[in-house]
């Protein structure tokens, strides 16, 4: 059976050798044996695990739930549970698809906000629990956004419960997508305050972005492109896992 040095695994997927060492430490690769000189000796199994990990993590812009989900897939595979890893990879793909739908909806809202600012369509009002489920976030996340002033939600006059109508849901979709695209809550709050005062142009100036000339629509569109890349990688992850399970020909290097 062919064996590999740390540098050979790193070269195959286009990462630094230290990344290979970290992946082993974090459980993304099976523990490697050591030769008499103390050097790591990797096998073909490690090579395939490394390719899977590269597919899972190469888009640095995508973090949060998606990255954590990818980590579960990789750790299951490294632990030898390829069936469980394949099942989790399907869930991972669904998560990315849901995130993409949310981002596309938020992009449409942002274009409307920065355009004619037309009103919302008809929609029934949702409880906090149903609103959280619709957005794919926890109730605690919604509470945090309200507590930090990103949104004010009216209460039902009879029950006293918060009810999320179409305007609240639009706003929450924008908040959620901007948070996923790595905007701070303070930056979003500055933007929302200007929006609430009637400002519809130059909202991007309220955001603390790495590029001062970047606008909201572009930033959201960039997030959507990143999700598309991650979706493609997730499908390749499934193919890689299936080939690893069969023990047949493996996918090629996941270089970018």
List the one residue out of 84, 87, 90, 14 whose CA is nearest residue 53: 14
Domains in the chain, number: 2
**71 neighbors 56 (Cβ within 8 angstroms):** yes
**119 and 208 co-located in one domain:** yes
Residue 63 maps to a domain: yes
pTM for this entry: 0.67
Considering the domain architecture, whether residues 86 and 127 belong to the same structural domain is answered as: no
φ and ψ of 111, to 5 deg: -65, -35
Q: Are residues 162 and 135 in the same domain?
A: yes
Q: At 32, which helix (H) or strand (E)? A: none
In a domain, 255, yes or no: no
Q: Compute the distance between CA of residue 119 and CA of residue 246 in angstroms, rounded to an integer.
A: 54
Instruction: Say which CATH number the domain at 171 has.
Output: 1.10.1660.10
Same domain, 122 and 79: no
For residues 165 and 125, is the Cβ–Cβ distance under 8 A?
Answer: yes
| pLDDT computed for residue 15 by the predictor | 92
Residue 22 structural domain: 3-98+229-246
What tens digit of pLDDT does each residue of 189-212 get?
877 888 888 876 666 666 544 444
Same domain as 180, residue 141: yes
Query: If you count them, how many residues does the chain have?
Result: 256
Q: How far is CA 233 from CA 23, 52, 230, 254, in A?
A: 18, 9, 5, 9
Please write the tens of the pLDDT for every residue from 86-128.
999 999 999 999 888 877 877 777 777 766 545 555 468 899 9
Spans in the chain with pLDDT lower than 70: 60-61, 114-123, 182, 200-221, 248-256
């Amino acid at each position: 059976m062919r064996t590999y040095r740390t540098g050979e695994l790193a070269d195959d997927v286009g990462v630094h050798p230290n990344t290979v060492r970290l992946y082993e430490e974090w459980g993304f690769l099976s523990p490697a044996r050591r030769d008499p000189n103390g050097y790591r000796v990797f096998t073909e199994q490690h090579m395939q695990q490394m390719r899977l990990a590269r597919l899972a993590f190469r888009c640095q812009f995508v973090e949060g739930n998606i990255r954590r989900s990818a980590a579960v897939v990789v750790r299951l595979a490294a632990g030898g549970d390829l069936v469980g890893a394949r099942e989790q990879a399907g869930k991972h793909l669904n998560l990315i698809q849901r995130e993409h739908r949310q981002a596309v909806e938020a992009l449409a809202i942002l274009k409307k906000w920065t355009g004619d600012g037309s009103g919302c369509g008809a929609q029934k009002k949702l409880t906090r629990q149903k609103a959280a489920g619709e957005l794919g976030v926890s109730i605690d996340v919604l509470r945090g956004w309200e507590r930090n002033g990103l949104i004010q939600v009216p209460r039902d006059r009879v029950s006293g419960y918060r009810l999320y109508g179409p305007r609240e849901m639009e706003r929450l979709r924008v908040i959620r997508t901007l948070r996923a695209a790595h905007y701070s809550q303070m930056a979003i709050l500055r933007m929302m305050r200007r929006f609430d005062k009637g400002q519809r142009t130059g909202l991007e100036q309220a955001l603390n972005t790495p590029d001062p000339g970047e606008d909201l629509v572009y930033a959201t569109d960039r997030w959507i492109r990143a999700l598309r890349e991650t979706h493609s990688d997730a499908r390749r992850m499934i193919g890689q896992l299936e080939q690893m399970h069969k023990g047949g020909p493996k996918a090629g290097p996941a270089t970018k």
